[in-house]
Structure 1
Amino acid sequence: MANQTSEVVLSTQDRRAVTGYCAVCAQDVLEIFERTHPADPRPRDALTAAWTFARGGERGKALRDTAWAALRAAKEADTAAAADAARAAMSAAGAAYLHPLADPHQVKHILGAAAHAARAAELAAGEDRQVGAVHLEQARRQATPVVVDVLRRYPAAPPGGGRVGELLRELDAALRNGS
């Protein structure tokens, strides 16, 4: 948990583990974006950058730039499912910038890719919440002990955020409770 200065102890290895987890979650739905936007490499580039950082690469301008580019791709997407798939990729690259602040909004850096991926899958399946539940369960199983430990250092996920926020809080609770 946080100390009295409201800071969280966070190492580069912690950030790499979280980023790798986010990349795994986002990778699962990348095809949803690429089916409707086959010529747009921005979400895939963000995932590639996330994987590079997770495997020991630098946390620099290229990583940040690919995250912003994936966000622009999400905003330009033709479907809500494709937009959430691109946001999952953006979240994976952005996970490298998890801040050591005891702020509930930082949980979005840890679980945002999984929540956006679950929502993309729901939307692609015609708003089927069972599909989202399956994706959340998969994300829960894929979370390593390091990722769960990092998550538990932060306050619980914040309220709001629509359906993606609901998915984020559901996953947050499941990981914190070990269920």
Structure 2
Amino acid sequence: MSAAVVLSKDDLRAVTAFAAASAETVLGIFEADQPGDPRPREAIDAAWAFARGGERGKALRDTAWAALKAAQNAHTAAGREAARAAMAAAGAAYLHPLAKATQVKHILGAGAHAARAAELAAGESAADQLERTARRATPVVVDVLTRYPAAPDGGGRVGELTRLLNAALRARPA
């Protein structure tokens, strides 16, 4: 059994704000792919609403699932990853207080999917996007991250980007 991680609502709000800001950076990639589909934007808006004091509930869950379905309709891989970043932003509010490496995806998933979307859209390395994402992480986000084990293996390119972001944030001076 995994140990419990102490998480306050303020911790969850900080993580969700970080995820929403990360996903927002690539929303335009999805919107260029699917200009009439508001679902990823709605997921990011729901994440921001929670981060700014709203409740964690049905709107977050529904918009996260809707953004995931929007990803399935995107014409490009970059558009799919941008929609997944939005899904991860809304899902960040559901970080569980279990000391499991898989929970790191709730903290860093939006940033990793955003980096992959940017990489696919630009055909370049995701390093610059990851660097900007790492700079966006507040001390609270880094503190929450360090309460969990390091990001897990696997997950393809997005998993690799998650581990790179994880390592960058954990290497920050306290």
The TM-score normalised by the length of structure 2 is 0.97
Structure 1 runs (4+) greater than 2 angstroms displaced: none
Q: Give identity over the alignment, percent.
A: 70
Which stretch of the first structure deviates more once superposed, 70-79 or 45-54? 70-79
* TM-align CA RMSD: 1.1
Name 1:56's counterpart in structure 2.
53
| Deviations 1:106-144, CA, capped at 9 Å, x for gaps | 000000000000000000012x11xx1000000111100
* Structure 2 counterpart of 1:66, from 63, 66, 78: 63
Tell me the distance in 2 between the aligned counterparts of 1:82 and 1:158: 25
**C-alpha displacement of 1:178:** 0.8
Name 1:142's counterpart in structure 2.
136
| Deviations 1:40-84, CA, capped at 9 Å, x for gaps | 000000000000000000100111000000001112211100000
Tell me the distance in 2 between the aligned counterparts of 1:106 and 1:74: 22
Name 2:83's counterpart in structure 1.
86
Tell me the distance in 1 between the aligned counterparts of 2:111 and 2:72: 19
- Correspondence 1:96-115 to 2 at 5 A: 96-115=93-112
Supply the AA of the counterpart residue of 2:81. D
Supply the AA of the counterpart residue of 2:151. A
**C-alpha displacement of 1:5:** 5.8
Q: Would you say the 8 A contact 2:2–2:100 is kept in 1?
A: no
Tell me the distance in 1 between the aligned counterparts of 2:91 and 2:22: 13
Q: Give unmatched runs, 5+ long, in structure 1.
A: none
The TM-score normalised by the length of structure 1 is 0.95
* Count of equivalent residues: 173
Q: Give unmatched runs, 5+ long, in structure 2.
A: none
Name 1:77's counterpart in structure 2.
74
